[in-house]
Amino acid sequence: MHAMPSVERPTVAILLPPESRRLVLSEAAEQRLNNVARVHTIAETSLSMSVLRELVGGSSIWLTGWGTPPLADLLTDAPNVKLVGHFAGSIRRLIPEYALSGGLRVTHAAGAISDSVAEFVLAQILMALRHGDAFNTGMKAGQGWELRDRYPGRLLGALTVGIVGAGYVGRAVIRLLRAFHATVLLADPTISEEAARELGVERVPLSELIERCDVVSLHAPLLDATKGMLGTAELSRLRDGALLVNMARSPLVNEQALVAELKRGRIRAILDVFDEEPLPASSPLRQLPNVYLSPHAAGHTQDSHWRQGDLIVDEVERFVRGEPLQFEISAAAMRHMA
């Protein structure tokens, strides 16, 4: 009886500085990787091209994420790489589209981030509608029950909410909105009427969504077609008292036009992303009472970070076993992604 030949384990290069690697990979996830592959990591906090070239030598699987620089030049000199697993969501800045057309397989963890962003979107909307920050500040300053008259709230279920973009996050927000029985409109030219009905939403043009909705939440990718999709004209058509939420990409909205509209006091905004990050101390957004700011934090929870790590390790295991990947990105799909 002959022994079965052993299958050589692939080499996985983790193209992350130590801090980012610890953020997404639990000890259990790292052990799972070591069980199916030889794993190369680095101790350097700065990923220069020379460091990366040494790191990826002999590897066929690269794992990337926050802190990984663009990889176009590295890919040119790495014919053996077969799979890139991205611990974060957006892959466009790292991998050129032609690499996918040339046979490189890419998967990402956007599906694990979406729940974190969606929860934050709903939390911020509810806090704004019920003026929770004003109640808290007022009570601590010695004010009392008169705050209820000064800040009358709105019921989410009585409002019309517009979702712009039905990607991972947009769909996750729609799922959460169902529990509140709000009327939900969707603007997304890439999905069909049938797909919209399956989501339980009404698909409408962006111009109609802007005019009909009490809350407008942006979840579109940043593409040439979406950059500046909300400018002076669009913002002026928002309903009086409307709430604009942007936790996607700042350039979807003309920031100067938004500041001008907010200064009029007619609408409110919830912003997690900005043209310049970190947000400068001199930004006029910091001085406006009708805008709620957060430091690009919507997708960041420890739970979602570990889910991201687990998801990509799952994908590596599937790849090694020759099974289909669950979150693979095609070249065609990449053209419409964040």
Q: Which of 108, 249, 268, 307 is catalytic?
A: 249
Q: Which of 22, 296, 300, 336 is catalytic?
A: 296
Model pLDDT, residue 7 = 55
Is the model's pTM score more than 0.75?
A: yes
Chain centre to alpha carbon of residue 38: 30
* Annotation says 305 is catalytic: no
* Annotation says 130 is catalytic: no
Q: In the CATH hierarchy, which fold is given to the domain comprising 11-108+301-328?
A: Rossmann fold (3.40.50)
Coil, strand or helix at 39: strand
Model pLDDT, residue 337 = 76
Alpha-carbon Rg for the chain, nearest whole angstrom, is 23
Domain 114-293 has CATH 3.40.50.720: yes
219: DSSP letter? -
* Annotation says 249 is catalytic: yes
List Cα–Cα distances, 123 to 108, 131, 239, in angstroms. 26, 12, 22
In sequence order, the 6+-apart residues with CB closer than 8 A to the CB of 197 are none
What is the separation, in whole angstroms, between the first and last Cα of the chain?
Answer: 54
Model pLDDT, residue 11 = 97
Q: Where are the domains of the chain?
A: 11-108+301-328, 114-293
What is the rounded (10 degree) CA torsion for 141, 142, 144, 149? -40
* 11-108+301-328 shares its CATH topology with 114-293: yes
Give pLDDT < 50 ranges for the chain.
1-6
Please give the order of strands across the beta sheet that includes 243-246: 202-203, 183-187, 160-164, 215-218, 243-246, 268-271, 291-293
Model pLDDT, residue 20 = 93
